[in-house]
Amino acid sequence: MTRRRSPSHHIIESNGHSSRMAEFTGITPLVRSLPATVPFVGPETQERATGKRFWARIGANENGFGPAPSVQKALCGAAADVWKYCDPENHDLREALATHMGLKPANIMIGEGIDGLQALTVRQIMTPEKSVVTSLGAYPTFNFHVAGHGGRLVTVPYRNDREDLDALLDAVRSESASMVYLSNPDNPMGSWHSGADIEAFARALPDTTMLVLDEAYIETAPADAAPSSAALIDRPNVLRMRTFSKAYGLAGLRCGFTFGHEDTIVSFDKVRNHFGVNIMAQVAGLAALKDQTYLATVCEKIGNARRRIAAIGRQNGLEPLPSATNFVALDCGRDAGFSTALLQNLSERGVFVRMPGVAPLNRCIRISCAPDDVLDIFEQELPVALAAIG
């Protein structure tokens, strides 16, 4: 019997040895069509590229004041348990959040930060060619997930450096959008809407449109910047998302949560990675939530840092925008070419900052709140960088 030859899977190299073909053609056409990209170029990437260290890391909206000492102690105590899988139900943290917010555990789902929860939300709702409405220049990770599922992004411009609620609502209606993304307070501008306006916006949406409301910076915002925790629980088409990455200082552990109507929340159990929020993240989140005294102290420090960044900006001819976040956008008063040059010159001087990606927002640079010794570096280097670019 003659064995049939299968199609060739090997090539013969010049040394006479065969090697397997490198190309794999089973990747979906959608994924093949997407660029291989990372939404954010991290400071580590830039340090590796230049061989230089950043002395002031004030571009990623991290909480430079760090987590509470009580959280650090809890993490040390839990370190010996990392051989265990985490609790896949996130039981203790869900219970604690429910008590803290006056909700039921069934109204809350824990996830790998807001980014991870956005990915799960898009996965549940998005199919190719469905439309999604967002603001032009808003937080890009949500767009990244939508593109990965073949969704069609519809963007509306900011108005007076705030996301335009009226324009977003008009676009939702005209496009019969399946989702609308809104951050309040906003990234990258630091602006915000009142809780009453957010609630009115949510209730005006069609029942067929899911509102993904990103409240990552809500702890640093005015008290009236958010509806009450229970205000929109009756709406199955509203998901509100919060994180331990910002005010609580746990960005490196990836722990966040979404809350909403329990019929919507339960769907996350159909698609989530049940071991995705590791044991250390659960321990840290629970300890951070318990230490509200430290949270209040950090929020006060963030407020002081915002005022200092604003003052440094004004001293150098840059106009600070009002901010409800842990960063301040400084209006350079010129075009994107100028702000890009300023960002690059600061980078060369060891100061890591970022800027918004689209006009007219990209006339600004964005400075994260940080301890005084870090802002001292920014205060010293900013006038030098401005003089260098002319």
Q: What is the CATH number of the domain that holds 240?
A: 3.40.640.10
Same domain, 286 and 320: no
Residues 6+ apart with CB under 8 A from 383: 315, 316
Same domain, 114 and 83: yes
Work out whether strand 18-20 and strand 56-57 pair parallel, antiparallel, or are unpaired.
Answer: unpaired
Query: What is the structure's pLDDT at 290?
Result: 98
CA distance 321 to 378: 18
Same domain, 231 and 358: no
CA distance 322 to 225: 14
Query: What is the structure's pLDDT at 3?
Result: 43
Helix-helix angle 292-315:279-290, to 10 degrees = 90
Q: Is 10 part of a structural domain of the chain?
A: no
Q: Is 219 part of a structural domain of the chain?
A: yes
Question: Which residue's structure tokens are 């640093």?
Answer: 220
Q: Is 357 left (phi over 0), alpha (psi -120 to 50) or beta?
A: alpha
Tell me how many degrees the CA angle 306-138-278 measures, rounded to the nearest 5.
80
Q: Is 147 part of a structural domain of the chain?
A: yes
Q: Is 31 part of a structural domain of the chain?
A: no
Tell me how many degrees the CA angle 279-281-283 measures, rounded to the nearest 5.
70
Query: What is the structure's pLDDT at 20?
Result: 56
CA distance 155 to 145: 15
User: Any idea what the CATH number is for the domain that residue 317 is in?
Assistant: 3.90.1150.10
In this structure, are residues 324 and 220 in contact, taking their beta carbons and an 8 Å threshold? yes
CA distance 372 to 307: 12
- Residue 327 φ/ψ, nearest 5 degrees: -150, 165
The pair of three-digit structure tokens given for residue 210, joined into one six-digit string: 């899911």
Query: What is the structure's pLDDT at 199?
Result: 98
The pair of three-digit structure tokens given for residue 156, joined into one six-digit string: 């509306």
Residues 6+ apart with CB under 8 A from 250: 67, 71, 244, 281, 284, 285, 288
CA distance 309 to 331: 12
- Residue 354 φ/ψ, nearest 5 degrees: -130, 175
Q: Is 271 part of a structural domain of the chain?
A: yes
Low-confidence ranges of the chain (pLDDT < 50): 1-14, 16, 18
Final residue in a domain of this structure, among 221, 256, 290: 290
In this structure, are residues 128 and 149 in contact, taking their beta carbons and an 8 Å threshold? yes
Cis peptide before 140 (omega within 30 of 0): no
Q: Is 89 part of a structural domain of the chain?
A: yes
Q: Containing domain of residue 78, as a range? A: 69-290
Same domain, 280 and 300: no
In this structure, are residues 124 and 101 in contact, taking their beta carbons and an 8 Å threshold? no
Question: Which residue's structure tokens are 């040390």?
Answer: 76
Same domain, 224 and 281: yes
Write the pLDDT tens digit of every residue in 250-293: 999 999 999 999 999 999 999 999 999 999 999 999 999 999 99
Same domain, 225 and 363: no
Please state, in angstroms and as integers, the Cα–Cα distance from residue 69 to each residue in 44, 59, 248, 303, following that order: 26, 24, 11, 20
Query: What is the structure's pLDDT at 195?
Result: 98
Query: What is the structure's pLDDT at 5?
Result: 44
Write the pLDDT tens digit of every residue in 182-241: 999 999 999 999 999 999 999 999 999 999 999 999 999 999 999 999 999 999 999 999
Same domain, 310 and 284: no
CA distance 176 to 209: 8
Same domain, 150 and 195: yes
In this structure, are residues 86 and 278 in contact, taking their beta carbons and an 8 Å threshold? yes
Same domain, 183 and 75: yes
Q: Is 342 part of a structural domain of the chain?
A: yes
Q: Is 108 part of a structural domain of the chain?
A: yes
Same domain, 274 and 320: no
Domains held by the chain: number: 2
Final residue in a domain of this structure, among 255, 275, 290: 290
In this structure, are residues 357 and 137 in contact, taking their beta carbons and an 8 Å threshold? yes
The beta strands (E) that lie in 26-136 are given as: 56-57, 108-111, 131-135
The pair of three-digit structure tokens given for residue 296, joined into one six-digit string: 């209040």
The beta strands (E) that lie in 125-207 are given as: 131-135, 152-156, 179-183
Final residue in a domain of this structure, among 290, 323, 352: 290
Same domain, 85 and 225: yes
CA dihedral (63, 64, 69, 73) positive or negative = positive
Same domain, 301 and 278: no
pTM given for the model: 0.92
